[in-house]
Amino acid sequence: MRLSTIKLAGFKSFVEPTKIPFPDQMTCVVGPNGCGKSNVIDAVRWVLGESSAKNLRGDAMTDVIFNGSTNRKAISQASVELVFDNDKGSPSNTFADRNQIAIKRLVTRDGQSLYFLNGSKCRKRDITDIFLGTGLGPRSYAIIEQGMISRLIESKPQELRVFLEEAAGVSKYKERRRETQTRIKSTRENLERLLDVRKELQSQLDKLAVQSVDAKKYRELKAQERTLKGQIAVLKWQKLHQQQLEKSAQIKKLNDQILFFKTANSGHDDVLASLEGQVQAQQDKLSDAQHQQHVIHTELTRAEQQQINVKQQTQTLKQNLIKLQQRQIQSAEVKSQQQIVCEQLNEALQEASENALICEEQVSGLTHELEELLALKQRHHTHWQALCEQQQQLNNNVQQHSSHIKQTQQQIDHVNEQIDQLTVQLSELQSSDVEQQLIQQSQQTQTLTQELAAKQTAHTHCSAKLEVQNERVNNSQKQYSTLTQTINELKASITGLKSTLGLNEKSERTNGLFNQLSVKEGFELLIEQALKSLEHLNVSEQQADNSVWPNSDKRMPANSLATYITSGVYPEHLARIAYSESGDLAILKDSFYTAVMDENGALYGRNWHVSADRNAENSLLLKHKQLQDKAQQLTNAEDELQQVTHTRDEHTAEQIKLINEQSELKEAIHELAQNIAVAGTRSDMLKQQVAHFKLQLEKLQQQKQQLTNQLLQLNTVLDEQVAQFEVLNEQQLNLTDEVDAANSLRSQSDKSYSEALSMLEQYKTQAHQATLSEQKARSEWRLSQTKLSHAEQEHVSASEGAQELLNEIEELLIPEQELSDKITQLLAQHQKGEQALVLLQKELTQAKESLNTKQISLKNSQGELVGLQEQHQKLTIEEQSLVIKAQVALDPLEELKQSLKAILDELPDSLNLSAAQNQLTGFTNQLDKLGAVNLAAIEEFDLAKARSDYLDNQLDDLTKALNTLEGAIRKIDSETKTRFKATFDQVNEDFAELFPKVFGGGSAYLELTSDDLLESGVSIMARPPGKKNSTIHLLSGGEKALTALSLVFSIFRLNPAPFCMLDEVDAPLDDANVVRFCRLVEEMSQSVQFIYISHNKIAMEMAGRLTGVTMAEPGVSRMVAVDIEQAVQLAHA
């Protein structure tokens, strides 16, 4: 497997998609400093999985993305792809059948890094696994960058061991060992957790085992109880069912008796119906007679009642008359009595009014006095409250002043402490030497600024020249582009015209007629119209001399169309066509002419006419002329292009020279600017420190002065506060006496007000009683007046009523006689009807007696039938009750989910209801003794037992897995030791052989730092010819480089990596050592592909291919590749 191509896009300075091929075994990458050569090495390390930005010469992983330049913007992502030829097979079995392997890495600005393997997205580990044991990797011995040679030779023993492990192919074993150790650690952690879970589960199993025994016993008792309950229910059902069968038999017997009585009673019903018909006929006759008698009796009763009513009304009116006369007398007596009572009550009312008025005057006077006492009381209360508030405020002021005095004293102590601290800080600041440092830094900054100004002036001149030169290059490039575009357009146009004219590069159809003709401008279409099939006409050399094809040089008639052909041969008939702008046919009179053509191209002959075809696009003569013009333009443009190209190359060379000069000045300016910036930053910091110190010193002095003033103020405030405190204490004592005096006055005014208020209440009570007495007297007087008025009205009403009653009595005496005559007639009719009614009743009685006799006989028979029916109904109800009870007795079977048939089949014959109930009581007592039972314990125990068994199996599996992993570790360790020891011996042997070859003598060897082959480090001992140094660190830089290269090539001899990349490893070597180095590389290149960066001409000559990196555009790298063999051949040619 060998590296064939590197593809970069957006990686560091390779902003544009760049493809770097490596077709030879030795490729040298050359270019000026800073052009991006080392970025190629960084790209390979990055795509192989380098994760440290520091090792890629950056601060963050996104620093590998092109960050913009003077003329370009930053881009959003970077990608690198390595393409390997795998014709000889891949080190990984997965890709052994692939002819090509492509590995790609892409990173975006958001820090996302993606890996691709043959176009498919993959993990970083997949990339690493491919190259494990091959010597390739981001930090392997196959990629040696700048400075790595010295680090390699001076590396620690453990770091040097890594290179030998990679050469031995042990790195993949170490990776597997690390994974195995991780698995062992995880397995042991799982094993510990499993043991903890198993222990906890065993504790649960012990508890659940006891609970499951109780649960099983409980379930057994419950099952027996359930069975017994079902049997009891069935026994109850059997008993009730037997009683129901007995009742059914009795009901059947009663049904037979009831049927007999119903048959016997059906004969009595016919006789009874006949007798009832006779009785009904007699009752109808009696009813008619009774109705007639009733009518007469009703009339008689009505007449007698009317007579009685008249007599009663008369009697009533007489009695009412007597009562009204008595009322009249009584009302006169009441009237005289009420008059006397009214006079007495009027006198009492006047007396009560006078008493009420006196009481009201007393209440009014006392109320006024009470208001004065209330105002005095309120004044005393207000005064007392004001004094209390003043006292409270004074107490608060005293407390506040006491607190202020304490605070002031604390502030004085605090200010004294601050003054002491500021005194110490002032002494420290005054001893600082920052100002002296600032003066020195300012002088250094001034010197750097002068240098920067000189460089900037030179850079400005250079930039001005470069701008002028850039303008020239741009103008040259624009001219070049314009000419190139013009030439391409002319070539395309010529190609199109040739295609239209049927020409090609090999055959230009020189014998075509249009190639032989030259026509006067403006007459091309007319000539072509005359010839019509011009494109099919050819002219041979023989025909050119023939008269059929006359030459245009021959003289023709003045009007002939052929006179417009300036050169070339043409058909003879063309000369016989005359030309007339107006198409004058008179010309045809001349027998020489066969036709006339007008200015539009229309052709007129004798008795015929051809229309004009003015389509210039199809004109072959015009196209041929355009072709000649285009060819001439192309020749001129190509000549001009050569001149422009030469001018552009000159301008470009001058531009590159100015760019390099500007770049050097820019770097110098940048370095000076950085130094000035650093110096400026340092000066600013020192100035800030000086200013800060001064400000701080002034601030501290001001603070100290402020604190001193504050201390004086606080002492003054403290004295004033003490004086105020004493004054407030004296005021507090005086105010206490005033409060006591005001409180005494308040109590006296309260007492006076209370006594006056009590007396006012007494007066109000007396006034209220007097008012009530007055109201009572007034009510009695008014009542007496009402009675008097009522007596007068009663007397008048009685007189009027008596007169009305006399008139009514006279009116009732007339109809009383008429009613007496009518009653006499009705009495005679009623007596006659009574005699006929007695006869009918006698006949009806006889018929009823016969009917009653028959009914009694039937009733007795029906009574017996009803008794039997009642007995039947009672038995039916009892039977239905037994059926319901039997069904209810079977209800427990539904709850117990048992069937009647199953219980009957299994029911013992010897079991009775009493014995079953006793057994049920026994089971219930046993269940009560068990108490609370965890019924889920059985299932929980089974689940826990299953989980325990599962955990036991897992425990066994983990134990076996642990043993297997430990065995794998031992196997890996054994294989690692074997491979490492063999590799160490072989590399040591090759190193001892190569070192004298490189140095021309001397000796070198490797040695292990301990006997443990798994952990032992590797150290280097090298002694160049004539030296006996005790350590390798005493060697020079060149000797260290050659020693490191000897070691690396020794490793390559044993396990050659697919390629080796070297970054200026020959820099510390002199020419003699470079020659030795080149010979060694050339020898190794037979089996290893070398890609190296060098500035040494000897190393460049050794390469089979030179790949140059340029930076014509600032900040943008581009590739220029040269094949050395082809270059040599061209040079010799």
Angle between helices 434-501 and 620-812 (to 10 degrees): 110
| 714-to-408, 483, 711, 717, 718 alpha-carbon distances in Å | 6, 96, 5, 5, 6
Q: Are 1056 and 135 in contact (CB under 8 A)?
A: yes
Region 70-75: what's the mean pLDDT?
88
Q: Are 41 and 1061 in contact (CB under 8 A)?
A: yes
815 is in an annotated binding site: no
Averaged pLDDT of the chain: 77
Q: For residue 506, is pLDDT > 60?
A: no
- pLDDT tens sequence across 459-470: 888 888 878 887
Measured from the Cβ of residue 810, the count of other Cβ atoms closer than 10 Å reads: 9
Three-state secondary-structure class, residue 232 = helix
Q: For residue 30, is pLDDT > 90?
A: yes
> From the CA atom positions of the chain, what is the Rg in Å?
73
**Which range among 12-26, 170-184, 384-398, 889-903 shows the weakest confidence by mean pLDDT?**
889-903
d(CA 614, CA 611): 10
35 is in an annotated binding site: yes
Region 408-418: what's the mean pLDDT?
77
33 is in an annotated binding site: yes
Q: For residue 979, is pLDDT > 80?
A: yes
d(CA 1040, CA 1043): 5
Quote the pLDDT of residue 339: 73
Token pair, residue 646, equals 């030469």
Token pair, residue 326, equals 């008595």
Quote the pLDDT of residue 507: 42
Report which secondary-structure segment, H or E, holds 28: strand 26-30
Q: Which residues make beta-bridge pairs with 113?
A: 107
Q: Are 687 and 695 in contact (CB under 8 A)?
A: no
- pLDDT tens sequence across 734-788: 777 777 787 877 787 777 777 777 777 777 777 777 777 777 777 777 787 777 7
Of 955, 1079, 1001, the residue nearest 193 (C-alpha): 955
Q: For residue 616, is pLDDT > 60?
A: no
d(CA 259, CA 264): 9
| 805-to-235, 635, 728, 786, 813 alpha-carbon distances in Å | 97, 168, 109, 28, 13
φ/ψ of 119, rounded to 5, equals: 85, -10
Contacts 24+ apart (CB under 8 A), 256-262: 257/868, 258/865, 258/868, 258/869, 258/872, 261/861, 261/864, 261/865, 261/868, 262/865
Region 790-816: what's the mean pLDDT?
71
d(CA 547, CA 553): 13
Three-state secondary-structure class, residue 757 = helix
Of 946, 699, 898, the residue nearest 205 (C-alpha): 946
Quote the pLDDT of residue 81: 95
Quote the pLDDT of residue 547: 38
Q: Which residue has the tokens 């009339």?
A: 299
Q: For residue 645, is pLDDT > 70?
A: yes
- The terminus-to-terminus CA distance of the chain in angstroms comes to 36
d(CA 756, CA 375): 13
Quote the pLDDT of residue 65: 92
- pLDDT tens sequence across 708-739: 877 787 778 777 777 777 777 777 777 777 77
What are the residue ranges spanned by the domains of the chain?
Answer: 495-617
Quote the pLDDT of residue 107: 93
Q: How many CA atoms lie within 13 A of 1047 on its CB side?
A: 28
Q: Which residue has the tokens 């820019």?
A: 666
Q: For residue 552, is pLDDT > 50?
A: no
Of 934, 939, 920, the residue nearest 221 (C-alpha): 920
Quote the pLDDT of residue 267: 65
Quote the pLDDT of residue 533: 40
Q: Residue 1107 corresponds to which amino acid?
A: T
Q: Are 1040 and 149 in contact (CB under 8 A)?
A: yes
Three-state secondary-structure class, residue 122 = strand
715 is in an annotated binding site: no
Quote the pLDDT of residue 976: 83
Quote the pLDDT of residue 544: 44
169 is in an annotated binding site: no
Q: For residue 110, is pLDDT > 70?
A: yes
Region 843-872: what's the mean pLDDT?
75
Q: Name the pLDDT band for 133 (thresholds 50, 70, 90).
A: low
Q: For residue 981, is pLDDT > 80?
A: yes
861 is in an annotated binding site: no
Q: Name the pLDDT band for 521 (thresholds 50, 70, 90).
A: low
d(CA 604, CA 1092): 87
- pLDDT tens sequence across 271-327: 667 777 777 777 777 777 777 777 777 877 877 777 777 777 777 877 777 777 777
CA–chain centroid gap for 116, Å, is 31
d(CA 947, CA 939): 12
Measured from the Cβ of residue 668, the count of other Cβ atoms closer than 10 Å reads: 17
Q: Are 556 and 563 in contact (CB under 8 A)?
A: yes
d(CA 904, CA 912): 13
Region 1072-1081: what's the mean pLDDT?
85
d(CA 893, CA 352): 98
